[in-house]
Amino acid sequence: MPASALRDAPIPIEITGLEPGGSVTFGSRTRSRSGTDWGASATFEAGADGTVVVEEESPIESRYYDTADPMGLFWSMRPVGSDPTEPMPPGVMFRPPAESFAVTLTAETGGNTLAEATTTRRMYDQDIKRVETPKNLVGAAFLPPGDGPAPGVIHLHGQGGQPFVGLARLLASRGFAALALQYFGDPDPLPDTLQEVPVEYVDRAIDWLGSHNRAANGGIGLFGFSRGGPLSLLTASQSNDVSAVVGWASSGIVYEGLGPDRVPAGTSAWSIDGEPVPYLKLAEADLGPPPVSGLPFFEPPLATTSQEQLEAVTVPVEDADTPIYLASATDDQRWPSTRLCERVVDRLDETGYSHSYRHDAFEGAGHFMIPPYLPTAGTMRDSIDIYGGTPSANANANENAWNRTRSFLTDSLPTQ
């Protein structure tokens, strides 16, 4: 087992020299940013050669996960002492330390410890470099180690309004020149809320990142999460400088924006040339006390709006000149991301789109999609929002969406 690895790297776990057919229990332990201990365990049966290879075998006993999974002991961890069969209280979630966290693995049989090892999970490569953004952009930009050209990626957050700085650091650690761009909220020059955000603001970020002396020539990739998904697609439909689009829990529909306290804004979330982009009005809904699902705002308009009206508020994705990768969650409780992504694919199918496109709908997963292998207990809801999914379904979506996104961006973006 490596002494350290980036947080998105799988770790091989294997033990030899056991009695054939005997059992061994692996345990994992780590500590969150708040100082809470998290852990998991699983028992396996040794093969005829006295070996257990965790990635190839299902546990014979575990309350945490039940299928062969090389990283099951990592993503299935929960606060020590909590019941793995019970939902986590709202707001309890694993939050890693900013730079790294240690995971200790043990192997026990008959009450005796056979082996123990600790690996450090690095949140990012310490050799990446942060670069200052110009005053007319808000966000955090990072360059990968080294001096050579790197493909550029801009990440666009969702309605939470905060840039995904940790994700940008991880992208830089994996060889991309990455900008986590904030597009509303504090400070100036941003709009205060998610309403009539200028698509031209993203164009400005593309121009800046594309002109950096470390950025590879030939276009920038856009990576949008949730509300950042349609913003990415809109930008690509208007720009010749986008070489790839990724959308997680995305949408091909433009919805109404949000004003203060996340109430419907009465206008579009986006604008082009100073004019609001045609939008689908949110439904009126009394959600009750939090945590709550967002579906009552987003689903009813899809059912009651005519096809002609829906067409008017659909992003003209056929005007983009770039490959597209979408990942959605079938139990998304923030908005119906699978249906909204299917609309993108339908439009691309109908128009004979000339570039490659793919949509992965992850069965049973929820809206909380992040790079893989952090504990997923608690990602179904927080104290305000219900996100959906299960720990195992969310872990599967995180792993596959991230690996396919990295491959897609690597294959689609220029490196010279």
Q: What is the pLDDT of residues 293-324, one digit of tens each?
A: 999 999 999 999 999 999 999 999 999 999 99
Q: Which of 103-107, 218-222, 269-273 has the lowest mean pLDDT?
A: 218-222
Residue keyed to tokens 């995180």: 398
pLDDT in tens, 272-285: 999 999 999 999 99
Interhelix angle 199-211/228-238, nearest 10 degrees: 70
State the DSSP code for 56. G
Angle at 180 between CA 2 and CA 363, to 5 degrees: 70
DSSP-derived secondary structure letter, 228: H
Q: Where are the alpha helices (DSSP H) in 174-327?
A: 199-211, 228-238, 295-304, 307-312
Task: Label residue 112 exposed, middle or buried (CB < 10 Å: 0-12, 13-18, 19+).
Answer: exposed
Contacts of 183 (CB under 8 A, 6+ apart): 138, 156, 157, 190, 191, 197, 201, 202, 228, 231
pLDDT score, position 219: 85
User: SS3 helix, strand, coil % of the chain, rounded to 5?
Assistant: 25, 30, 45
Nearest to 177 by CA among 202, 136, 210, 199: 210
Alpha-helical runs (H) found in 123-190: 165-173
Model-wide pTM > 0.75: yes
pLDDT of amino acid 357: 98
Helix (H) or strand (E) holding 247: strand 242-248
Residue 22's pLDDT band (cuts 50, 70, 90): very high
What average pLDDT does the structure give for the chain?
96
The two tokens of residue 407 are: 């491959």
What is the band of 213 on the pLDDT scale with cuts at 50, 70, 90?
confident
pLDDT over 80 (residue 218): no
What does the pLDDT look like over 95-152, one tens digit per residue? Answer: 999 999 999 999 999 989 999 999 999 999 999 999 999 999 999 999 999 999 999 9
